[in-house]
Structure formats: C-alpha cells, structure tokens
Amino acid sequence: MIDTLSHLPRPHAGAVELADRFGDLAPPLTARQAALESARCLYCYDAPCVNACPSEIDIPSFIRSIQQENVQGAAQTILSANILGGSCARVCPTEVLCQQACVRNNAEECAPVLIGLLQRHAIDNAQFGEHPFQRAPASGKRIAVVGAGPAGLSCAHRLALYGHEVVIFEAREKAGGLNEYGIAAYKLVDDFAQREVEFLLQIGGIEIRHGHRLGVELSLSLLRQQFDAVFLAIGLAASKRLGLADEQAPGLLAATDYIRELRQADDLSQLPLAERCIVLGAGNTAIDMAVQMSKLGAHDVNLVYRRGFAEMGATEHEQAIAKANQVRLLTWAQPQEVLLDDQGRVRGMRFARTQQVDGRLQSTGESFELTADAIFSAIGQAFDASALVDPLARELKREGERIWVDATLRTSLPGVYAGGDCTALGQDLTVQAVQHGKLAAEAIHSHLMSNVEAA
C-alpha cells in the first residue's frame, strides 16, 4: 500500500461495483458494426492514414480484409508492422494520428473511419492456432534488451523472428512497461497487457530475466562484453519534481506511483481514496489519474494546469473523458505552496494565477487556494541518470537528458542501440516506442549479418 496516503479512507463502493466502473472505456465493435465501419473506408492509394501511423501499419489493407470477412488476414497485416497492435488499438491517440488524417474526417461527413476500433476488432477476433510468425534458423547471435516495455518487447520479437537469441532484462516483476504499470485501468482491461506479452513470447528465442535494473544489477560494460549487441529501452523512470517546500508531506504523491498500485490491485476497494483531490499536469497521465480517482468515488477532483487548454498535452478526446467523469479542468494556475494541516498532512494547495505575455508565462499577482486530501503530481517523467553510472555508460552521448540516437537508433557507442522514451527521437507514445524497437531490431540484424558475410 502507498504509505504517504495510508491516512486516507477507502472507497465507499464495494469491489464488484468498482470493477464495473473500471470497465472497458471503448467497448469493442460487434461483427456487424465492424462490417459497416470497414465499408466506409475508401482504401486510398497512398493513404494519409498510413503516413500518420508511427508504426506504418497498412491500414487500408487490413480494413479491406475485414470487409472481406478475413479477420485473420487483417490481424496478420497489423501484427507484421506492430506486434503490440492490440494494446496500441486501445491506447493510441488515433484521434490525432490516423483518424485525424482520414479523408472521411471532414465537415461534410463529420467522422473519420474508426481505425482504432477496427484494429482492435481484428486482433481480438483472430484465431491463431499457433504464433503467426515463424522464426528463422538460429543465427548464433545473442542480443541483450534492457527493459520489457513496448520498445524492448517489439525489438526482442523482431530479433527473435530473424533467428537471434534475445535476453530481456527487466527491473519489475512483470513485463509490459507502461502498458502494465502506467496506463489507466479502464483502457487496458482483463489483464490484456500480460496476455499480449504471452502471445509475443510464443515466437520463441526470448528469455526475460526479472529483477535486473541497469545501474544496479546490470552494467552496460558487462552487457556489451557478453552479448553481440545491446538495446536500451529503459524509459523515463523518474517523476519530475515540483520544486516546492513540503513536497514530501503525507498526501502528496507522483500520479504514476498511484496508477501503478491501482493497476496491480486485486481489490480496488482497498485503495486509499482522496475524496477531494488535486491533480497537477496536462498530459494523458494527469487525465488518467483524475478520472480514476473520480471512478473510485472522489466527489471533488480538480486537474490544474499552468497554461491554457490549447497547450495541454492531453488531446480533446482525453479532456472530454475527464469532463464526462466530473473532473474539473482549471487552467492558468501554477502551484505556489503546499498547504498542510496541524499534523503535517496535505490539506490543499495555493496557486498563482498566470497569463501569457509575449509568449512567456507570468504571474498576474493574484492567487487562490484549493482544498484537497491529496495532491497527485503528473507534470512529466524524467530520465533516471542513475541507470548509466558505469564508466562505459557515462560515455553515451546525450540529447538534453535523454540518450542520443541516429535515425537507425544507434547510440554513440558501437553495438549499443536505444529506443522508446529514453531517447528524444519521435513522440513519447506506445506506438512510437514499438516502432523504435522494430527499427532498432532491423538495424541490429543488418549489422550482425553484414559482419557474418564479411567474415
């Protein structure tokens, strides 16, 4: 249990009711609905939806397969480009990617083809008797992948497909990364993240070693000595700090820590409930935290952001989800002071009202207070530099805080590649991390095989 919130009450609703509240955010399409929706696709040549998809799925092709009642073929097309296509169909912000680019998304028709739901329909209804991809003959090469999140899993699967042996080193008890520990429970229900991992591992040639953290049980120096290549998919493990006094007070917690506990809870009725809570931030994690606290039974949930709605990282779709769950969105307010009660626990927060002047954020000189039993910070994740403490790892070139990579995901160290959120290449999205893993695997395979041919 989360110690800093141990003084809070438990939800009034029972486990069964709460489980129902955390049901699937977007129920799957029926076969009839999928047939009707797939018929709306124009199967565009040089389709803009494909160009907008970070993982380059052939969207018109898989939708045509659904229209032709070939769900198996549709799933094969999706998985060949994105082995985590099931989770991406659920959590990917399709409203600002493929669906925004859809030619049906115009003022006359008002709605794009529902690509995300069609992708989920294909994956969920495919009946594979065995893993749909066959491993190539053993290459004799071994690759270390550090991190079992979307980038690491994607890389491992593609490398295994080429006949390489892969060892994934994962710090936590379960594989899946953010899909397992960081996504709102109502977006990935029924233990889907673990079921997807189990499906991916069916290709063979992949071993996962849990309880291995880079910089603690692992060093990059030893990994590079023991393996033919190394792929770093260590994500952003640290939460950014507010920089305020009393940030360690009981009742103040990183939103990611609470979401992790919620996703691993067998009984939601045993979680601490902040009946009045403040969530700081403007991204999807902030929305996920606020909505989940509302679903647990909080009656006063305020999501507070220092800028305006237009600058929020969360899409309009995510903002609508928050509003539908009685979350109040407050903008132009910056945290100024954590307010404590007589026992030193959080009782609220003082905010400075802000405005933008010549492109810069400034205080208006006014302030206001919000009462809260708990404050959840979701102002962003940071790179945990403690992972790169050994002498070799310290030689990695950085881009800001993160690891520098070129277009093929190579780092500045020969034989070492990196991808996902720990790099500054692309967007911090699950689907982008999957693509990084795939591209890194292609680069690693090409390099290893060129060395074999040269020998």
Domain count, the chain: 3
Residues 362 and 388 both lie in one domain: no
How would you class 105 by CB atoms within 10 Å of its CB: exposed for 0-12, middle for 13-18, buried for 19 or more?
A: middle
Residues 364 and 253 both lie in one domain: yes
Q: Which pLDDT tens digits describe the chain residue by residue (455 residues)?
A: 588 999 999 999 999 999 999 999 988 999 999 999 999 999 998 899 999 999 999 999 999 999 999 999 999 999 999 999 999 999 999 999 999 999 999 888 879 999 999 999 999 999 888 899 999 999 999 999 999 999 999 999 999 999 999 999 999 999 999 999 999 999 999 999 999 999 999 999 999 999 999 999 999 999 999 999 999 999 998 899 999 999 999 999 999 999 999 999 999 999 999 999 999 999 999 999 999 999 999 999 999 999 999 999 999 999 999 999 999 999 999 999 999 999 999 999 999 999 999 889 999 999 999 999 999 999 999 988 889 999 999 999 999 889 999 999 999 999 999 999 999 888 889 999 999 999 999 999 999 998 665 55
| Torsion angle defined by CA atoms of residues 249, 250, 253 and 257, in that order, rounded to the nearest 10 degrees | 140
Residue 132 lies in a domain: no
Residue 300 lies in a domain: yes
- Check which CATH number belongs to the domain holding 73 and give it: 1.10.1060.10
Residues 388 and 369 both lie in one domain: no
Residues 269 and 364 both lie in one domain: yes
Q: Provide the b/e sequence for 16-44 (b: ≥16 CB within 10 Å).
A: eebeebbeeeeeebeeeebeebbebbeee
Residue 390 gets the label, from left (phi > 0), alpha (psi -120 to 50) or beta, of: beta
Residues 170 and 209 both lie in one domain: yes
Phi, psi of 252 (to 5 degrees): -115, 125
Which of 331, 346, 381 is the C-terminal boundary of a domain? 381
Residues 327 and 354 both lie in one domain: yes
Contacts of 26 (CB under 8 A, 6+ apart): 90, 116, 117
Residue 21 lies in a domain: no
Determine the Cα–Cα distance for residues 288 and 294; give it in Å rounded to an integer. 10
- Check which CATH number belongs to the domain holding 165 and give it: 3.50.50.60
100's tokens: 């925004």
Residues 310 and 361 both lie in one domain: yes
Query: Minimal CA–CA distance to 209: which of 156, 179, 181, 167?
Result: 167
Determine the Cα–Cα distance for residues 280 and 374; give it in Å rounded to an integer. 11
Residue 19 lies in a domain: no
Which of 329, 348, 381 is the C-terminal boundary of a domain? 381
201's tokens: 């591992």
Residue 7 lies in a domain: no
Residues 263 and 218 both lie in one domain: no
Residues 113 and 66 both lie in one domain: yes
Q: How many alpha carbons fall within 13 Å on the CB side of residue 93? A: 16
The pTM for the full model equals: 0.95
Determine the Cα–Cα distance for residues 388 and 394; give it in Å rounded to an integer. 6
Residue 387 lies in a domain: yes
Query: Minimal CA–CA distance to 26: which of 121, 125, 104, 150?
Result: 121
Q: Helix, strand, or coil here: 134? A: coil
Q: Helix, strand, or coil here: 387? A: helix
* Cα–Cα distances in angstroms (integers) from residue 106 to residues 39, 92, 95, 109, 116, in the given order: 17, 21, 13, 6, 18
Q: Which domain holds residue 205?
A: 142-237+383-454
Which of 363, 381, 399 is the C-terminal boundary of a domain? 381
